[in-house]
Amino acid sequence: MDLPSFVREHVALAPMTTLELGGSARFFVDATDERTLRDALAWSREHKITHRILAGGSNTVVVDEGVSGLVIRVSTRGERVEPLGGDRVRVTAAAGEPWDALVARCTRRGLAGLECLSGIPGSVGATPIQNVGAYGQDVSETIESVRVWDVRAQRERVVPAAECRFGYRDSAFKDKHCHLNSCVILEVSFVLRERGIPRVRYSDLQVALYDAGVGEATIEDVRNAVIAVRAKKSMLAREGDPNRRSAGSFFKNPVMARSKYAAMASRVAVGQAPIPSWDEPSGAVKVAAAALIERSGFSKGMRRGAVGLSSEHVLALVHHGGGTSADLLAFAEEIVAAVRDQWGVTLEREPVILR
């Protein structure tokens, strides 16, 4: 088969992921502009080759066998800032823009709404997929709309936030039964507030601000505090950090009906502390996955050969080098099985498996 100039063959994917694991892509396109992205999708359609989307690779586990179809990496760039009147400002960024650089620019301009999401690796275009969130803030609070290429309908469209059905680390883009599942995100628009009041809900952040001697926190102070807290927990994917090869939290905090929660809580032995939990507005209860894992026999820094748990964060599975995705996924399964046996709760994986 004659390949168009933008298609490469047998490209290693591990260096494009934060876990640094997995095999190669049979076909690969680095889409630095939307035209190349569409041409790549048209080429895969014409040749009946399945396509997969990759961006910053910070929420992805590539299987060791690699991907037999086409992997398109979204590397588009661009940003627009439009005043909307009053203190509202629309910031629109291309899907391939690095997320944390966007957050840094917004906080520097004094725009509130993304500050608690500082230091999260990856791209702008991936943030709506799992409704990225941290420290009491998530992107669904500020996303106005998402411009997508609808692969099935072969057309571009703008999806308003209400249609994205954002939930906890969830959206319609992840729902295999929803038409949005086959869309490639091209651009995301956020509405932020000038001179907005920064959000400091988490005690970790309050302590970091106090330690830094900050009284009335500005947006930038909150960004700096979030980065300081993340650095302590090895949650920045920084060069030199022994826990840097991870996909962040590997498991979601389970959300369950109150009756299921009661059954789980009844397994706490007499005299033991309860498992931390939070009441959800829906009436359900969200439970700390980290506590379930720790109290099922796993601890920070624990190793299984070349993989293990971060020494600073029990929810982060890490790769120490020289391992395989099979090792990592087997360890994840071991954790899921132990938590299920001990607590009757099945943990759900957060990262996506690319195969």
- 39: tokens are 């041409």
- Which of positions 37-76 make contact with ligand FAD (CB under 6 A)? 53-60, 74
178 SS3 class:
coil
Stretch that binds ligand FAD, among 124-132, 192-200, 220-228, 337-345 (CB under 6 A): 124-132
- Which of positions 221-240 make contact with ligand FAD (CB under 6 A)? 235-237
22, 23, 66, 121: which one binds ligand FAD (CB under 6 A):
121
* 150 Cβ contact partners less than 8 Å away, ≥ 6 residues apart: 156, 157, 179, 182, 183
Q: What does the DSSP 8-state code read for residue 167? A: B
- 40: tokens are 């790549």
Stretch that binds ligand FAD, among 41-49, 152-160, 246-254, 290-298 (CB under 6 A): 246-254
In the bound complex, what is the minimum distance in angstroms from residue 74's beta carbon to ligand FAD? Answer: 4
Pure H helices in the chain = 34-46, 99-108, 203-211, 219-232, 258-265, 289-294, 325-343
For residue 95, state whether it binds ligand FAD (rule: CB under 6 A): yes
In which order are the strands placed within the sheet that holds 51-54?
8-12, 24-31, 67-74, 51-54
Closer of 116 and 191 to ligand FAD (Cβ): 116
Contact 225, 182 (CB under 8 A): no
Active-site choice (52, 169, 230, 295): 169
Closer of 185 and 289 to ligand FAD (Cβ): 185
The answer to whether 249 is a known catalytic residue is yes
The answer to whether 238 is a known catalytic residue is no
In the bound complex, what is the minimum distance in angstroms from residue 195's beta carbon to ligand FAD? Answer: 26
351 SS3 class:
coil
CA-based torsion, 74, 47, 27, 329: positive or negative: positive
In the bound complex, what is the minimum distance in angstroms from residue 324's beta carbon to ligand FAD? Answer: 18
The answer to whether 140 is a known catalytic residue is no
Q: Which of 116, 83, 122, 82 is nearest to 101 (CA)?
A: 122
92, 107, 118, 123: which one binds ligand FAD (CB under 6 A):
123
In the bound complex, what is the minimum distance in angstroms from residue 86's beta carbon to ligand FAD? Answer: 29
CA distances from 338 to 313, 342, 349 (A): 18, 6, 15
- 3: tokens are 């390949």
- Which residues are part of the catalytic machinery? 169, 249, 350
Q: Interface with ligand FAD by CB under 6 A: which residues?
A: 18, 53-60, 74, 95, 120-123, 125-127, 129-130, 132-134, 184-185, 235-237, 246-248, 352
